[in-house]
Amino acid sequence: MKPDLVAITPEAFDVDIALAYATPANPTGRPIYAHAECWLNRQAAERLTAAVTLARPLGYRIRIFDALRPVEGQWALWNANPDPEFVADPRRGGPHCRGAAVDLTLLDDEGQELDMGTGFDAFTPRSHHARTDIPVAAQRNRAVLLGLMTAAGWDHYRNEWWHYQLFDARQYPLVANADLPRPMM
């Protein structure tokens, strides 16, 4: 069964896309994706639209760092950093490998990322939600992001302020690179 995937583009979704894993600026030190494609399953794409709609009147836009991650990409991350606190074990298949998760942040009205206290993929305890050892402004920004995403129907992962997933993510099939309409790797 082919996954029901939607291409996420800046034009169609009014988002900024900066796929970290299509660059060497990721835990592996080299691009994981040969082609910077952004995909989500249909339900996740609908929830992304809801989040964008909620963010817009507050003066925010969404920047996506990662969405669907083919199983092969999950293996590349796991091989570079096999820490289950921050990287899902590819033998179990995480929500990214199902097109049911998105890594993101908020941009202000000038297109600048809001301060979240750590960068994306900062694999430290300071990346956990509800940290009080980061600046108050960053705590507020994380709370705004959490509020927008949960209001749009997303669940969060407590260890990563940037990671949101569908509540029922495991119901979706795992997606390999060969399953994609246009391969990423």
pLDDT digits (tens, 9 = 90+) for 128-181: 999 999 999 999 999 999 999 999 999 999 999 999 999 999 999 999 999 999
CA dist 183 and 181 (Å) reads 6
Q: Which band of pLDDT confidence, cut at 50, 70 and 90, is reported for residue 2?
A: confident
Q: Is the pLDDT of residue 1 over 80?
A: no
Q: Which domain holds residue 164?
A: 5-179
137 found inside a domain? yes
CATH of the domain at 101: 3.30.1380.10
61 found inside a domain? yes
Q: Can you point out the beta strands (E) in the chain?
A: 5-7, 16-17, 39-41, 61-66, 101-107, 155-156, 163-165
Q: Is the pLDDT of residue 16 over 80?
A: yes
92 found inside a domain? yes
Percent of the chain with pLDDT over 90: 94
**Does residue 113 have an active-site annotation?**
no
How many structural domains comprise the chain?
A: 1
What 3-state DSSP class applies to 104?
strand
54 found inside a domain? yes
Report the mean per-residue pLDDT for the chain. Answer: 96
Average pLDDT over residues 87-108: 95
185 found inside a domain? no
Beta bridge mates, 164: 102, 156
Catalytic residue, chosen from 37, 46, 110, 160, is: 160
120 found inside a domain? yes
184 found inside a domain? no
**pLDDT per position as a tens digit, 57-93:** 999 999 999 999 999 999 999 999 898 889 999 998 8
